[in-house]
Amino acid sequence: MKPMEDMTPDEEIQKAKKKAMDLLLVRDRTEHELLERLDRASFSHEAALSALSYVKSYGYVNDERFARHYLEVFKESRSIRRIIYDLKNKGISEALIHMILEEQEGESQKALVRQLALKKWRTLNHDDPKSRQKVIASIARKGFRMGDILSVMEELESQSREDFADDSDSFSLPGEGPY
């Protein structure tokens, strides 16, 4: 195999097209990500642009489709802020991101926080104050607002205290029944 410097421009373009196709076989990518990877593979900018144009002409690269899929996959586990941040880093325009977010209807961010907190709540050691902080930190790392997290945690703790009080009212020793 010839080094890039010894190739004709046409040979380099063909090799860049092949590399682009190979990268897309692994996973879907944005235009920005694909150009970045081709640049790292030492292709000239012209060859990389030609390869991008080639794969776009077949619909293999589509930033709008990528952003919609990314949102669909991660909307249950990440905050909208985190998804926006990730998509911007992947080279998706802010206008496209906001257009897609406006179209998408789904659960509110607080409902997602509640869902994640409930999942962690079931395994939480309620006697250990550090375990509460671990749950809060875990959800915060996903990009949710601290106010939403603390509000949901307070709701869960209040509900748990009420459930405990209800259980202790109906508690009786064997033979002492409530009747």
pLDDT in tens, the chain (179 residues): 556 667 898 999 999 999 999 999 999 999 999 999 999 999 999 999 999 999 999 999 999 999 999 998 998 888 889 999 999 999 999 999 999 887 775 456 788 888 899 888 888 777 787 888 999 999 999 988 898 899 999 998 888 777 766 655 554 445 555 54
pLDDT score, position 106: 44
Residue 19 in tokens: 């590399």
Q: Find out whether 39 and 48 touch, Cβ atoms under 8 Å.
A: yes
**Tokens 């409530």 found at:** 178
Count of alpha carbons within 13 angstroms of residue 67, beta-carbon side = 27
Q: Give the pLDDT confidence of 83-93 residue by residue, as tens digits.
A: 999 999 999 99
Question: What percent of the chain is predicted at pLDDT more than 90?
Answer: 51
Mention every residue, 6+ apart, whose C-beta is less than 8 A from residue 18. Answer: none
**Tokens 């911007």 found at:** 88
Domain residues of the chain, as ranges?
Answer: 8-57, 63-103, 109-168
Its pTM stands at 0.60
Count of other CB atoms within 10 angstroms of residue 135: 21
In which element (H, E) is residue 145 found? none
Residue (of 87, 112, 113) closest to 99 by Cα position: 87
Arithmetic mean of pLDDT over the chain:
86
